[in-house]
Structure 1
Amino acid sequence: MTEPLSLRSSRPPTPRGLPARSIAAALCLLLGACAAPPATTPPAGALAMAWSAPLPHGGQRAALRDWWSGFDDPQVAALIDAAQRANPTLAQAAARVAESRALAQAAGSSRWPTLDANASAVRSRSVLPPAGAIQTTSGATLDALWEIDLFGAVRQGVAAAEARADASRAQWHDARVSLAAEVAATYVGLRSCEAVLAVYEEDAASLQQTADLVGQKVRAGFDAPANGALARASAAEAVNRVAAQQTECELSVRQLVQLTATSEPALREQLLPQRARLPQPSSFEVAAVPAAVLSQRPDLAAAERNIVAAAAEVGAAQADRFPRLSLSGSIGRASIRSGGQTFDGTTWSFGPGLLMPLFDGGRRRANVDAAQARYDGAMAAYRERALAAVREVEEALLRLDAAGRREADAERAAQGYGEFLAAAQTQWQVGVGSLLDLEQARRAALAADAGLIQVRRERVSAWVQLYKTVGGAWQADDDTTTR
């Protein structure tokens, strides 16, 4: 009885074999180090150490998440909810999130073996001499393949896809914040437009009464025709002003229809109760350190995740330059029928495969350079976005502070010009003042009233812009579903 052959040597390993394995291991470690991706830390110095603009007083940071419900007008939160349910821009961002998640899942599947079923049946005959019989060959196999990720090409590809998915989620949140701010700003603009329109309409009605009265006095010979012409011109100018303001208000309504994807009749009915009333927000706290504030901005989080993805793509491109090791196996049944005879049996195979890049005309080296360029671009994009974020917050803080300081002066101006107009009206009615003086007083009062409304609008709009620029209460661990 013979002993089966052993695949192992019975001799102990010689010292001469140890250095060879050590060299191979060291070579693998060296090549793996060469495939390491670059740093993923955002560039230092992109954020300022402190705000130069004055910070608002009062309010709480925790209240920012439900800030829209803090308005004294419930239509603000209602319109934002409607927009976030049906706005096409937000739906596109959600679709991009779903796509990136699917791509990340597809990339992750590369870490596991693949198993495929293969079946075939071929009937053939040779016409070359000597003539052969008809032959039928059939078979079925299960084929497995697993690439061993020696140098991290698969791992880095998965990391890049996951980082892109994280970036798309952050961009979706940024789209939500931007959409909410745009809806609120449009609504505030509509209400301020209606408030100015109410002032213009009241002024137009008053001027029409004045024109009628002056016309009667001119026809009776108690006033000069020039005053009649002035009164008619002022009334016509007021009507023209009302028409222009009505157009601006209609444009704001159309914009809200587009943003909320609501039918215009339903939206007009919804807007009717709060006509010409400017909504007032609650205040919230802004951290004194810019880094603490801007870490809550989803657009900066997306830019940071793009850096991570670009770095991983550099590592994947570097790893693609090194050998690739895979294991493959197959098992199945095969059958051959020829000349009335049938031969069948089991087939199997198993073994490793090594792919060694030798020459590709510089393609892999160019892929590494391209990935490195994308990484450098992602770093620059983050710095650009960070600098812009600081500027946006500073601008919102400055506008908010300026509007708050201007509002008291605007109120005093409107009150003073209103009193002056009332006095001029009384003097003209008793025949002491001239129509020209009355029109000058009316124009000053009208400009002061419109200016006060504009300042109040700027203050509310500055709060809305500040909400957007500080990230809208988004948190880095916020994984709200987009569907």
Structure 2
Amino acid sequence: MAAALLLQACSTAPTTAPMLAAEVPSAWQGRPVADALPRRPLDTGWWRTFGDPALDRLVERALAHNADLRGAAARVAEARALGDVQRAAALPTLDLGIGESRSRSVSAATGKPYLQTVTQPQFQAAYEVDLWGRLDALNQAAVAQLQASEAARDSAALSVAATVASGYISLRALDARLEVARQTLQARASALDLARSRQSRGYTSALETQQSEAEYRATAAVIPQLQLAIRRQEHALGVLSGAAPGPIERGLPLTELQLAPLPDTGLPSDLLRRRPDIAGAEAQVAATDAQLAAARAQLLPSLRLSATLGSISSSALTGDPFRLWSIGGSILAPLFEGGRLRALVGASDARREQALAGYEKTVLTAFGEVEDQLAAIDEFARQSVEVEAQRAALQETLRVAGNRYREGYASYLDELDAQRNLFAAQQTALQLRADELTARVNLDRALGGGWQADAGAGAATATAAATAGVNPRASTR
């Protein structure tokens, strides 16, 4: 169900795809390490690749209950209703009216007063002939606005899923860092006991004991900081999943979350069909195109047809009611509006320029996000090798320094430095692991999370790449 929420796409295509002024890259930049990693197809349930059922449940709960997504769904319903309103404007209207009056008059023949009741039911029909396509353009604008709201909903769902996944990874990283801090605190408590014992027997001075206690206290101070960060992360995840702040279910530890194969990146031009925010930006361009056409059509005459069918009956008359009917038409041409209509055209034109600029920015930002995450995955993989080697070397350094200190061949400062360096390296290694996992989340998000525009949709395609460099401002003028 959660994956289906991310797969929803625009049901109808904008009429024209905007052209990019910037050149679409023919390929992603080469990343030696990332390029060598295995690949998998894009999937709307991409968060399942981490292999943690607790994460799966958390994401699915957020997609079902997140307040922002409920608001986005309501905006889609609003846009759909407004589209129905606009479609109805192009249809004939039919109204029923019934009028009745009662009067007291004096008969000219008899001079006597009498009461008269007059009843007049009638049907009225009206229809605006769409000579210049104004109503059709407004209908197209409403359809495009619906597409934009649907794309915004899908983009919000993708954002919520990615934010929850990265937040869960951060939570498990904090859990792992807290566990390392507690283990380090136990080791430093043992070192403090040893320092006190050696001082009591006269083997060392009070200086080493004070240094050991200071290091113990410094490590102890880290634990409340991490616990507070964990609480805050849990609260943030609770809000995202539509629940009151509280504990979050844990699954696999950080080190057991899978570094799954990378999603297939395809070509940069493929991205134009894979991201809902790009589809939404394109729909906005289509909407402003249609609104501009409607504004221009307002400068031209309009033709309205009307018809009336009814009857009139009076209590003072005998026989059947009189039948009444009329049919006619009117042409209304704007002669002088004080420049209002042309100003509306200018405003519509400016909104189209804004939509075009927004579309281009969205596309270029999407390219940059994919490149950023590919670069991050590449560099994190390199860094991971070095950090792991450093951690192993510092682990051995601490072992040797501890043995030399206990045997009296080295000062406590050597062991103290080794403890500090190892603790820092362990924290760095855990954070790097979290960064590697988060980069994979962000790459799936940057690639659209498996979202696809409907077959035949007018989301920007390779056509946009082929026409790169063409002035988009000349495409519909």
TM-score, structure 2 normalization = 0.86
- Equivalent residue for 1:71? 50
Q: Which deviates further from its counterpart, 296-305 or 74-83?
A: 74-83
Task: Give SS of 1:431's match.
Answer: coil
Q: 1:199 aligns with which of 160, 163, 180?
A: 180
Q: Does 1:179 align with 2:179?
A: no
Alpha-carbon contact 2:141-2:287 (below 8 Å) kept: yes
Shift of 1:337: 4.5
Cα deviation, 1:42-84, whole Å, max 9, x if unaligned, reads: 3332533332252544545534333222222122221110000
Identify if the C-alpha distance between structure 1 residues 52 and 62 changes in structure 2 by more than 3 Å, giving closer, same or farther.
Answer: closer
- Alignment-mate amino acid for residue 289 of structure 2: A
Q: Which deviates further from its counterpart, 150-159 or 353-362?
A: 353-362
RMSD across aligned positions (CA)? 2.6
Shift of 1:442: 0.5
Task: Give SS of 1:274's match.
Answer: coil
Q: Which deviates further from its counterpart, 44-53 or 411-420?
A: 44-53
Counterparts of 1:133 and 1:154, CA distance in 2: 53
- Equivalent residue for 1:318? 296
- Equivalent residue for 2:136? 155
Pairing of 1:358-377 with structure 2 (within 5 A) = 358-377=335-354
Cα deviation, 1:142-175, whole Å, max 9, x if unaligned, reads: 1111111000000000000001101111111111
Alpha-carbon contact 1:193-1:248 (below 8 Å) kept: yes
Pairing of 1:382-421 with structure 2 (within 5 A) = 382-421=359-398
Q: Which deviates further from its counterpart, 311-320 or 50-59?
A: 50-59
Identify if the C-alpha distance between structure 1 residues 122 and 182 changes in structure 2 by more than 3 Å, giving closer, same or farther.
Answer: same
Counterparts of 1:39 and 1:440, CA distance in 2: 66
Counterparts of 2:171 and 2:256, CA distance in 1: 9
Counterparts of 2:46 and 2:91, CA distance in 1: 46
Q: Does 1:190 align with 2:190?
A: no
Identify if the C-alpha distance between structure 1 residues 87 and 255 changes in structure 2 by more than 3 Å, giving closer, same or farther.
Answer: same
- Alignment-mate amino acid for residue 340 of structure 2: R
Q: 2:78 aligns with which of 93, 99, 120?
A: 99
- Alignment-mate amino acid for residue 262 of structure 2: F
Counterparts of 2:319 and 2:63, CA distance in 1: 69
Task: Give SS of 1:45's match.
Answer: coil
Q: 1:300 aligns with which of 266, 278, 288?
A: 278
Q: 2:203 aligns with which of 222, 234, 248?
A: 222
Shift of 1:264: 5.0
Alpha-carbon contact 1:38-1:314 (below 8 Å) kept: no
Identify if the C-alpha distance between structure 1 residues 336 and 46 changes in structure 2 by more than 3 Å, giving closer, same or farther.
Answer: farther
Q: Does 1:113 align with 2:92?
A: yes
Counterparts of 2:184 and 2:424, CA distance in 1: 11
Identify if the C-alpha distance between structure 1 residues 180 and 53 changes in structure 2 by more than 3 Å, giving closer, same or farther.
Answer: farther
Alpha-carbon contact 1:46-1:383 (below 8 Å) kept: no
Counterparts of 1:404 and 1:150, CA distance in 2: 64
Counterparts of 2:39 and 2:425, CA distance in 1: 34
Cα deviation, 1:232-284, whole Å, max 9, x if unaligned, reads: 1111000001111111112111111111123555x53x22x535555224223
Gapped regions of structure 1 (runs ≥ 5): 1-36
Counterparts of 1:408 and 1:211, CA distance in 2: 33
Identify if the C-alpha distance between structure 1 residues 61 and 322 changes in structure 2 by more than 3 Å, giving closer, same or farther.
Answer: farther
Q: Percent identity?
A: 31
Q: Does 1:141 align with 2:118?
A: no
Shift of 1:328: 1.1
Identify if the C-alpha distance between structure 1 residues 388 and 466 changes in structure 2 by more than 3 Å, giving closer, same or farther.
Answer: same
Q: Does 1:454 align with 2:435?
A: no
- Equivalent residue for 1:31? none
- Alignment-mate amino acid for residue 258 of structure 2: Q
Task: Give SS of 2:262's match.
Answer: coil
Q: Which deviates further from its counterpart, 204-213 or 411-420?
A: 204-213
Q: Does 1:213 align with 2:186?
A: no
Counterparts of 1:277 and 1:131, CA distance in 2: 106
Task: Give SS of 1:244's match.
Answer: helix
Shift of 1:112: 1.4
Counterparts of 1:478 and 1:81, CA distance in 2: 27
Cα deviation, 1:87-140, whole Å, max 9, x if unaligned, reads: 00111111111111111111111221111111222345699xx99976543322
- Alignment-mate amino acid for residue 432 of structure 1: Y
Gapped regions of structure 2 (runs ≥ 5): 1-13, 457-477
Counterparts of 2:315 and 2:323, CA distance in 1: 15
Identify if the C-alpha distance between structure 1 residues 297 and 224 changes in structure 2 by more than 3 Å, giving closer, same or farther.
Answer: same
Alpha-carbon contact 1:87-1:259 (below 8 Å) kept: yes
Counterparts of 2:255 and 2:371, CA distance in 1: 28
Alpha-carbon contact 2:265-2:447 (below 8 Å) kept: no
Identify if the C-alpha distance between structure 1 residues 179 and 39 changes in structure 2 by more than 3 Å, giving closer, same or farther.
Answer: closer
Task: Give SS of 1:357's match.
Answer: coil
- Alignment-mate amino acid for residue 306 of structure 1: Q
